[in-house]
Amino acid sequence: MGKIRHRRKTPATARGTQDQVPRERWQHGDETLVEPAEAAGSRRVVVLTQDALDRYYRRGQLAPAADENRRLYDAGARLRRDFHRAGLTPDVVARYSDLVSGGSIQGFLAVREDSYRAWRAAIQAVGPVAADEVVAVCCQGAPVGKGARMEILRRGLAVLAKHYGY
């Protein structure tokens, strides 16, 4: 027979308080805000964002100047809004009546079609070179990393901002 393994029981006081987070939480995003908590020696951690575009904006990685950083972020956020309004995200809907309760289905479909056309026009304006990076970051929330892909993203967002008139 093999050895019997016993689980070590840790007292509740050693596990931590409500203000402490488990180790696994740290892997879900590197943008955190650390605030002092009431209890001495403990810190409260609040994850500010999980989305790559928001994270790049908060770090100032889209552009060195604050106003240019904001302009590129606004263009990316508008593309993301058009993407979601066009219904290009995989959504699970329990009841469609809740989705269109504010108006008619024709109005809903018209908004969806207009958003899709706006999204397509924006992607065509960005061009085939930067479209992958712009869609990955703005619409899918995926990071592009550093180096050449980040520079392609910056240039694509600059073209997108010009397209939107920012």
The mean of the pLDDT values for the chain is 78
- Say if CB 130 and CB 156 are below 8 A apart: yes
Q: Distance between CA 164 and CA 166 in Å, rounded?
A: 6
Q: Distance between CA 39 and CA 33 in Å, rounded?
A: 17
User: What is the reported pLDDT for 28?
Assistant: 52
Q: Distance between CA 85 and CA 119 in Å, rounded?
A: 9
How many Cβ atoms are within 10 Å of 122's Cβ, its own excluded? 22
User: What is the reported pLDDT for 36?
Assistant: 44
Instruction: Indicate the helix (H) or strand (E) that contains 36.
Output: strand 32-36
Helices and strands per DSSP (H, E), number in the chain: 7, 2
User: What is the reported pLDDT for 69?
Assistant: 95
Q: pLDDT digit string (tens) for 125-147? A: 999 999 999 999 999 999 998 89
- Give the Cα-Cα-Cα angle 35, 39, 42 (nearest 5 degrees): 55
Regions of the chain where pLDDT drops below 50: 11-19, 29-37
